Chains A and B, each alone.
Chain A
């Protein structure tokens, strides 16, 4: 099975969107490009753009490898993608509002009740709570994969705290430093205003009874967190405070931060802390990362939490398989972007099929993320498949399975010249009184030849993503 190459597909030759770049590339001296590649690494190291890998004590801070060949998307491709994403994001917010209020979709029998009731991602504390401005998912990162000229699939809706947007911004910044002439030749739509858009979007969802300009803060678990760089980066770019749980406490019915002049009220909290850790009084009592009592402030409508607690139910992998139904139920139309066929191992027939065909499938944990705890059948040994099948049989409801898609490829620069590698795409979506999608996103690329796993924790890299202004 030959993968679709986004620059030069086997069947049709160089695609239009890459024509100008290809022309420029052919004039470049290979040794100069190799030099630029090293420059890029120096830039990243110097600015400290690093991430931590759990369980990897030697390399506490590592760089995500960056590839200097951009991934290019034409204007018309982008328009189609954004229509599909908007529809999906609308449906997700409607679904969340419904699921925490009247639960019409369950009454209509479109998705099974047990999938909600027995789901750890469903927060009973959110029942009947309407978040400020009615927004649940202020920030979403929709993972999209491609298999052909017109075939796009949504792989995941990251509706909790999607990360990686700082790489989108730094990748662009780096590319502009390395190849200023390219940006004069080719009209690439800008992504730099993302922090301003995020700030405006968060401000627009402030508590309704607030009459003044809202005070916004980013809540981080702290500098040991793997995404700390991004938390600091976003706070800095937005010009808001970066706070940790122990900076905050509830004062007079509001959440407030400890400053050199006493406690100051916070109105909008962009939290990069999971639900479980948000409020030790409501959730995990041992959490030192959260703020005791913040859920009471939230229920009283005195703070915006972005994303709202309990949004995890919308990007649960078991719920994912129902997304076509969910979209149709709330928007009245068929989904523009396709779902990947998904077998729910909790269903006996599906389980049987998955166990029989495990060597051809990708099997994932329902609550897993980051490429941990998954099996890619075709690239695993017989032994690995058998071991995984045992785990699967022991707790089928914990897994889903999907066909192994032949992800599209983009060229990367290797020592031997350009070589195709599999990619995916995560555009970032902002929700307030409107839905905004920054033209671009994070392209993750599997650096190992043939590999389909693009996660940075599993040795993936990133590329700058260009949406052409054509």
Chain B
């Protein structure tokens, strides 16, 4: 038995924990590009802001896309509801609301992450300390994940939590791809320029996959392989297919245990079917950008339907 409000709190707690981590990852990738860049760093930071889905808010208060402005906005700024600080605060608020559904370890790890970020992000970040701050954010969220997986019962509480994680993650990966989809399009020459290589690496870095890519594919970056990895590879934990396999599984657990099939079950299966294509080539043929925008919409709809079907409000 689970309160609808509790399911809602678990779902959003986990979306925001995921988002906290994604913000750190995005800034990390941007920072890397800026250090190794060969062209405009401004462009790079701009795509970071776009990938974070925060271009409107940033544009309203900032003129230039500098490392300092972007990292401050994505990590510290409380007026940005998706900044790492705002995200962990919202996550903790939700965790506090659903505290009775969490193990002590999980609650404490969320509470401690919040305390650590509050301390670290109290003052503007010194550029020299940025890498360390990013590491600590990632470590804090890794601790939450560890406590969560290590101590939570695999029941409805776990399912709704995981739905939050995977909806957020799928959205994040799809956005990163969509912001840079043009650098992945097949070009006349199959060997990329130096610039292309940086761009490709940046995409992989944004999802912490620049090393594991080489374990799966040949050493050289190839745009089709990168797209394949992030969209279709079922073993890559941030790929769309990975996220949707788990989403479908957690929703199926609910369907079986509650004995009720709901609209969200059809939606998750339809979206998963779209990912079950023979090869990445088919997606390129129908249009990568179109595919990604369609996916982002489907994913958004799934979140909405889960909330309605399971009486979140």
Are A258 and B3 within 8 A (Cβ)? Answer: yes
Interface residues on chain A, size class = 20 to 34
Question: Which positions 214-258 of chain A face chain B at CB distance < 8 Å?
Answer: 223, 228, 232, 235-236, 241-244, 246-247, 257-258
A47 within 8 A of B: yes
Instruction: Give bound CA distance, A258 to B99, whole Å.
Output: 18
Are A46 and B112 within 8 A (Cβ)? Answer: yes
With A232-B100, A236-B99 known to touch, is A260 a contact of B311 (CB < 8 Å)? yes
Instruction: Give bound CA distance, A129 to B311, whole Å.
Output: 35
- Find chain A residues with CB under 8 A from B1 CB: 241, 259, 261, 264
Are A259 and B104 within 8 A (Cβ)? Answer: no
Specify the chain A residue showing the minimal Cβ separation from B312. A260
With A232-B100, A257-B3 known to touch, is A46 a contact of B108 (CB < 8 Å)? yes
Instruction: Give bound CA distance, A246 to B97, whole Å.
Output: 14
Instruction: Give bound CA distance, A45 to B310, whole Å.
Output: 34
Instruction: Give bound CA distance, A69 to B160, whole Å.
Output: 44
- Find chain B residues with CB under 8 A from A258 CB: 3-5, 311
Specify the chain A residue showing the minimal Cβ separation from B306. A260
Instruction: Give bound CA distance, A244 to B8, whole Å.
Output: 14
Q: Mark A4-25, 1 if CB is under 8 A from B, else 0.
A: 0000000000000000000000
B63 within 8 A of A: no
Instruction: Give bound CA distance, A246 to B311, whole Å.
Output: 12
Specify the chain A residue showing the minimal Cβ separation from B4. A258
Q: Which of B4, B115, B156 contacts A247 (CB 8 A)?
A: B4
Instruction: Give bound CA distance, A228 to B100, whole Å.
Output: 12
A262 within 8 A of B: yes
A48 within 8 A of B: yes
Specify the chain B residue showing the minimal Cβ separation from A218. B100
The CB with the most chain A CB atoms within 10 A, among B93, B97, B310, is that of B97
Instruction: Give bound CA distance, A247 to B160, whole Å.
Output: 18
Instruction: Give bound CA distance, A244 to B9, whole Å.
Output: 13
Question: Which positions 206-225 of chain B face chain A at CB distance < 8 Å?
Answer: none
B247 within 8 A of A: no
- Find chain A residues with CB under 8 A from B156 CB: 260
B166 within 8 A of A: no
- Find chain B residues with CB under 8 A from A242 CB: 99-100
Write the nearest CB–CB distance from B250 to chain A, whole angstroms: 13
Write 5 A-B pairs (CB below 8 A) sorted by A numbering: A47-B111, A48-B107, A241-B1, A241-B3, A259-B3
Q: Spell out A's residues near B (CB within 8 Å).
A: 45-48, 223, 228, 232, 235-236, 241-244, 246-247, 257-262, 264
